[in-house]
Structures are given as structure tokens and as C-alpha cells.
Amino acid sequence: MQPFKFIRAQDSHAAITAALTNNAKFIAGGTNMIDLMKLNIEKPTQVIDINGLKLDKIEIFSNGTIRIGALVKNSDLAYHPTIIKSYPVLSEALLSGASAQLRNMATVGGNLLQRTRCPYFYDTTYPCNKRAPGSGCSALNGYNRNNAVLGTSDKCIATHPSDMCVALAALGAVIHVQSDSGVREIPFNEFHLLPGETPQFETTLKHGELIIAVDIPAIAYGARSHYLKVRDRASYEFALSSAAVALDIKNGRILTARVALGGIGTKPWRSLAAEKVLMGAVNNEQSYRTAAEAALSGAKPYQHNAFKIELAKRTLVRALATVGGMS
């Protein structure tokens, strides 16, 4: 680990000012940052502890929007009564992630920015374009069972590992960020980037910008939602594939649908194609399957992960069937 300076910011202004220096990094729960620092992947020379910023509230506005502070712990969010009742998909996604200890430390802001679990990214003796731009992608023709099949490029095929983000993508969340020039809002789908030619850039967050909150706009049918995660063991493991779905159903027809997939994409994968198929469709298995085919239509398999395409479809079908069958 590289030696670094450490400060505890007392307010957003102090944090943002400190972040303007070169090589500065915020630290929230530290559950991802500290591991990456120990492995010489993140090498900040200035670490800014933002835990004193009081961004740990969950507010509910009169229009139904829920505002989640960036420092709200993953477990506090998962067990918030309104979230459990109105957006079970988000609560379930959070609780399917990591372990209880990690969720007690991990924050919403940190979760949005957690980095890939591609094994080569973690070993500095291997080429990796995301970690060392231009060095090559070891996973492309390497050990890639857990890598992505959607949104890949020949520079990087790493998945975005978050569960929470898949639910937030489905819910169309909005991210609030603050810099020395004020506050701006980023729609969820515009927050994470595809790897393209530059996998080292993962979000549209600018250097020194601080995430302060995430808004979930009201969705009337949010209670009819579900997160399903398929993985190699029952807990404490990232998704092979996952699906976040919400359905608005009337008289056996799906009026509106929200669909996002995890474990298979280079970013949290909202599938507008699947949503389009479902909109107006009969609420039955056949519609789910057609939607799943649409969601995965552009998928590209690599040597060890071709199974993910069929698995992701089945995951989505099961998640839709679960919500479709809710009373």
C-alpha cells in the first residue's frame, strides 16, 4: 500500500475542496476502497473520510419521491419500512449482496462506485486495461466465467458487480452530485459508462464530485417488484445473473414493466427492449420468455461464460413469473 494523507471532512465544502487535489479519494464504508488500496490498485495520496457529512438520512417527499443520503448504510436502506413495503426489489437486492457485516459498513454512494470483480483487475501482475490503460485485457481470452456478455468491448468485458444498482436501474433512480460549481442530477442510466475504448472510465462522475443522494421517483406499482439473484453459493457471492423487475398488471395484461439485469452486463443493465415487449403483453410465461429473449438479444459469449446467456433469460423469466403471480 502506498502511504497517504488522511483527513476527516466535517462538511461537503471541505470534502470537495480537499478532493480537488491530485490523487484524492473519498472513503465511505471503505469495504471496497481499502481492499483496492491494499492490493495497490487504488493508490490515492490523499484520502478523505466523508463519514462525518451527515448524508445518512432517508427522506420521503410529498410527491412520493424517496431521497436516500449517500452515506446511508446498505443495511439501513434494506430494512427501511417504506423500502420494504413500496420497493421490495431494492430491499431484496441489497440483502442479496455481500454479507451482513459488509452491508453494515457499505454505503449507497460507495456501492454505486464499487469496482469490478474481474480477477485480473485484482492482480497487478496481469495486463488489465481498466487498471492499467493500454496494457491489454487478460480476461478476453483468459479465465472469464464470471465476466460479462452484454455491453462488452474488445478492451474490457468486466461486469459491474453491484446488486443494489440493478434495482436502482429498474427503478429509474436519479443521482445527486455536488462539486465546487454546485449540485447536478444524473439519471441512473447516464451514470455508469460502457467500457468501449476506455474501460478505465466507469462513470460520468467528474474528478472531485461528491455523491450526496439518490432519489427514487414514485412508482405506484413498486410494491409488485422482485429481485432474483442466481449465484454459485447461497450467500456472500456476486451474481452469475440477476434480475430486478416491477410489473403493473391489470386484468391479466401488463401495463408497464421495469426490467434490469445484473451479473451479465458491463454496467447495471436496464433492458428497455424487454420492457417494450412486456408493455401491453398478456401476463403469462410466453410473454416473459419473449421479453427475456429481447433482453439478451445482443449478448456476446466468451469462452467460459456462454451459459450466462441462457441462465440470465431463465433468471428473468422466473423473476417475472414471481411478480406476475403476486396477488
Partner 1 sequence: MNELVGKPLDRVDGRLKVTGAATYSAEYYPGNLAYGVIIESAIPKGRLKNLDTSVAEKAPGVLKIMTSQNSMSLHFPAGSDPGNGKYAEKDLLPLQSERIFYGGQAIAVVIAETFEQAEHAAMLIKADYDKDKPVFSLEKNIDQAYKPKQGLGGSEVQIKRGDADNALQSAAVTIEETYTTPVYHHNAMEPHATIAEWKGDELMMYDATQSVMGSKNLMANMLGVKPEKVRLISLYIGGGFGSKGFSWPNTVLTAMAAKLVGRPVKLVLSRQQMFTNAGRRTQTIQKISLGTDNAGKLNAIKHATTSETSFVDEFVEPAGIATAMLYSSPNADISHSLVRLNKGTPCPTRAPGEAPGTFAIEAAMDELAYKLKMDPVELRLLNYAETEEQKNKPFSSKNLKECYRQGADAIGWKQRNPQPGSMQEGNYLIGYGMATATYPANRSASTAKAILFADGHAEILCGTQDIGTGTYTIMTQIAADAFALPMEKVKVKLGDSSYPKGANSGGSQVSASVGPAIRAAALGAVNKLIKMAIADSGSPLHGHKEEDIVAANGRLYVAKTNSGESYEQLLSRNGGKVEALATTNVSTRQQEANPAAKSGAEEEAEKESKTNAVVQDDEKTDRKPYAFHSFGAQFVKLRVDKQLGTVHIDKIVSIMDIGKVLNLKTAKNQIMGGIIFGIGMALMEGTGYDPNDGRVVTRDLAQYLVPVHADMPEFDIRFIDKPDPYISPIGARGIGEIGITGITAAINNAIYHATGKRVRDLPVTADKLI
Ligand X SMILES: Cc1cc2nc3c(=O)[nH]c(=O)nc-3n(C[C@H](O)[C@H](O)[C@H](O)COP(=O)(O)OP(=O)(O)OC[C@H]3O[C@@H](n4cnc5c(N)ncnc54)[C@H](O)[C@@H]3O)c2cc1C
List of residues contacting ligand SF4 (CB under 6 A): 116, 118, 120-121, 128-130, 137-139, 147, 156-158, 199
Q: Return the number of the residue (257 or 311) whose C-beta is nearest partner 1.
A: 311
Residues found near ligand X in the complex (CB under 6 A): 25-33, 35, 50, 70, 74, 97-98, 102, 105-107, 109-111, 113-114, 161-164, 210-211, 238
Q: Which of 27, 29, 2, 3 is nearest to 15 (CA)?
A: 27
Helix, strand, coil tally for the chain in percent (to 5):
30, 25, 45
CA atoms of 80 and 76, how far apart (whole Å): 6
Which residues, in sequence order, are bridge partners of residue 192?
203
| Number of neighbouring beta carbons within 10 Å of residue 222 | 23
Q: How far is the CB of 37 from ligand SF4 (least distance, A)?
A: 17
Check if the beta carbon of residue 238 is closer than 8 Å to that of residue 122: no
159 binds, among ligand SF4, ligand X, partner 1, none (CB under 5 to 8 A by kind): none
**Which residue matches cell numbers 487535489?**
21
Q: Does 162 bind partner 1 (CB under 8 A)?
A: no
CA atoms of 149 and 165, how far apart (whole Å): 18
199 binds, among partner 1, ligand SF4, ligand X, none (CB under 5 to 8 A by kind): ligand SF4
How far the first Cα of the chain sits from its last, in Å, is 53
**3-state SS class at 109:** helix
Q: How far is the CB of 5 from ligand SF4 (least distance, A)?
A: 28
In this structure, the strands spanning 24-27 and 46-49 are parallel
Q: How far is the CB of 101 from ligand X (least distance, A)?
A: 9
CA atoms of 257 and 147, how far apart (whole Å): 27
> Which distant-in-sequence residues (6+ apart) come within 8 Å of 232 by Cβ?
240
Check if the beta carbon of residue 238 is closer than 8 Å to that of residue 259: no
Residue from the set 103, 195, 315, 323 that interacts with partner 1 by CB under 8 A: 315
**Which residue matches cell numbers 423469466?**
317
Q: Return the number of the residue (130 or 258) whose C-beta is nearest ligand SF4.
A: 130
> Which distant-in-sequence residues (6+ apart) come within 8 Å of 18 by Cβ?
7, 9, 24, 46, 48
Q: What stretch of H or E contains 213? A: strand 210-216
137 binds, among ligand SF4, partner 1, ligand X, none (CB under 5 to 8 A by kind): ligand SF4
Q: Return the number of the residue (118 or 171) whose C-beta is nearest partner 1.
A: 118
Q: How far is the CB of 66 from partner 1 (least distance, A)?
A: 29
121 binds, among partner 1, ligand SF4, ligand X, none (CB under 5 to 8 A by kind): ligand SF4
Residue from the set 57, 133, 236, 280 that interacts with partner 1 by CB under 8 A: 236
Q: Does 307 bind partner 1 (CB under 8 A)?
A: yes
Q: Return the number of the residue (41 or 278) whose C-beta is nearest ligand X.
A: 41
Nearest residue to ligand X, by Cβ distance, number only: 110
- In the range 97-126, which residues lie near partner 1 by CB under 8 A? 99, 117, 119-120, 122-123, 125-126
- In the range 197-226, which residues lie near partner 1 by CB under 8 A? none
Binding residues for partner 1, per CB under 8 A? 1-3, 38-40, 99, 117, 119-120, 122-123, 125-126, 138, 141-143, 145, 230, 232-238, 240, 303, 307-308, 310-311, 314-315, 317-318
